[in-house]
Amino acid sequence: MSEPVKTRILIADDDKDILDLLVFKLTQAGYEVVGVSDGVAALESIESNPPRLAILDYMMSGLSGLDVLRKVRANEETKDLDVILLTGRTGDSDVDAAFATGANDYITKPVSPRELLHRVNALLARGKK
């Protein structure tokens, strides 16, 4: 289904290659994608130019994905943002922390772009109902 206004998605990852990869994939799928390289930029973008969904890498220097998520959920205006956390760590505690802080989903690296797209679509579709 294509919309007259493209749904905005924010992706934050400090690895340029991965960022380009994911931006490419989701743009190809028809979304308006904003890509940033760190947590601070992510937060700024979310606040100034609110997306429908944010994909945040867990580990970034400065503000981590988890920190950004926390701030997003604490802010009245942005608390309902859908967030998917992305990470290479597989500790149980990381998963628990992610969901406890309010992530909607969690994907481990190496992430299959195809799968990510499915998850994004599913999440956005849920929201619509």
Partner 1 sequence: MADVDLLNLLADFCSFDALAIVVVGGGSPKVRASWPANHSGLKCDDSTKAKRNELLVAAGGSGKNILSAEANIDTGLAVRIHGSRSTPHDFPLEWIERAMETLARMIALQLDADVARRRVEEVNTRMTGLVDLSLALGQELSLSDLLHRIVESARQMLGARYAALGVLEEIGAGLGQIVTAGLSPEEQKAIGGLPQGHGILGALMRDAQAIRLDHLANDLRSTGYPQHHPPMDSFLGVPIVIHGKILGSLYLTDKVSGPFTVEDEQVAVAFALHAAVAIESVRLFAAEHGRAVMLEHVQEISNAIHATTSTQQALDVLCTKLGEKLDVDRVIAKVGDAEQKLLLAAQWHHASVKGLPEDLVPYIGPLAEELWRSSDRLAIDDFLASDAKFQRDQIFHGYSDARAVMIVPIGVRDRVIGIIYVIKVDQPRRWTDADLEVVQRVVAVIARGIEDAEYRANQSEHIERLERLERMQSEFVATVSHELRTPLTSITGYLELLKDGFVGKLTKEQQQMLEVMDRNSNRLQALIENLLVINRSTGDFTDFDEVEVSMAELVTSCCQELALVAKNGRVKLEVEPGPQNAIVHGVKEQINSVITNIVSNAIKFSRPGAVVSVKCALDSGGGRVRFSCEDHGIGIPIDDQKQLFDRFFRASNATHQLIPGTGLGLSIVKQIVHDHGGQVRLASVEGQGTTVVIDLPWKKIE
Q: Which residues of this protein are in contact with partner 1, per CB under 8 A? A: 15, 17-18, 21-22, 24-25, 28, 59, 87-91, 94, 108-114
**10 Å Cβ neighbour count for 89?**
12
Report the nearest approach of partner 1 to the CB of residue 74 (Å): 26
Residue 96 has which token pair? 């628990």
Q: What is the Cα–Cα distance from 93 to 97, expressed in whole angstroms?
A: 6
- For partner 1, the closer of residues 14 and 32 by Cβ is 14
Is 11 within 8 Å of 26 (Cβ atoms)?
yes
Q: How far is the CB of 90 from partner 1 (least distance, A)?
A: 6
Nearer to partner 1 among residue 89 and residue 126 (C-beta):
89
| Residue closer to partner 1 (CB basis): 41 or 111 | 111
Residue 9: strand pairing partners? 33, 53
Parallel/antiparallel/unpaired status of strands 8-12 and 53-57: parallel
For residue 129, the SS3 value is coil
Q: Which is nearer to partner 1, 88 or 127 (CB)?
A: 88
How far apart are CB 22 and partner 1 at their closest, in Å? 8
